Chains A and B, each alone.
Chain A
Amino acid sequence: QVQLQESGPGLVKPSQTLSLTCIVSGGSISSGGYYWSWIRQHPGKGLEWIGYIYNSGITYYNPSLKSRVTISVDTSKNQLSLKLSSVTAADTAVYYCARDLKGYGELDYWGQGTLVTVSS
């Protein structure tokens, strides 16, 4: 059974960089041809796709966030990372990592999510 667990600071100051990690257990992040994704959910709002990484290095980002987002993997630690630069209060959200079966939005395993608040 695949499990994902996000971790990172719960509070980030405006203009700084948000950094989160997602540890994957129950399977190798570098096998299976899956797409490893980040999604966020603003408080009381809907879901927003941030981007994904596959083949251990190929990335694709939501164009609305592309200039500020970096997704990477560390295969030795079996973990996924998200960096979002120049954050503002609008980036306050619950951030989820998830596995996408084929890169078309079939997100079959999710982490429990981690709330990140941007505030001074």
Chain B
Amino acid sequence: QSALTQPASVSGSPGQSITISCTGSNSDIGLYNFVSWYQQHPGKAPKLMIYDVSYRPSGVSNRFSGSKSGNTASLTISGLQAEDEADYYCSSYTSSTSQVFGGGTKLTVL
């Protein structure tokens, strides 16, 4: 059982916007602004897309944005493109285990 809860799957059409939620607790997401999001294509290593809730690493498209409210963090992808189809994982710093990941969300671009 993952400590952070994500929907198993989301889908959207090209050009649309989608949001992936990541729900934790007041020991992780609710307590720290250290939420990250990763994109993983099949057979590849994860890629950092968002860190510290809403910051994008250099080179990541501004179509990706992150936010947080209470114990829930969100990743929004606007202007959906075919290459965005991948698995997405959230993670958070936590007072108990240092770092914890969500179970992952499979994004399908219709």
Contacts and interface: CB of A to CB of B under 8 A. Distances in A.
Nearest to B36: A105
A106 B51 contact: yes
B36 A107 contact: yes
A49 B57 contact: no
Q: How large is the interface on B (under 10, 10 to 19, 20 to 34, 35 or more residues)?
A: 20 to 34
A112 B48 CA distance: 14
Q: Is the interface of B mostly helix, strand, loop or mixed?
A: strand
Contacts, number: 64
Interface stretch (B13-21, B61-69, B96-104): B96-104
Interface in B51-83: 51-52, 57
A47 B91 contact: yes
Contact of A105 (B2, B45, B99, B103): B99
B98 A106 contact: no
Contact of A47 (B32, B46, B48, B98): B46
A62 B101 CA distance: 12
Interface in A82-103: 96, 101, 103
B27 to A, nearest CB: 13
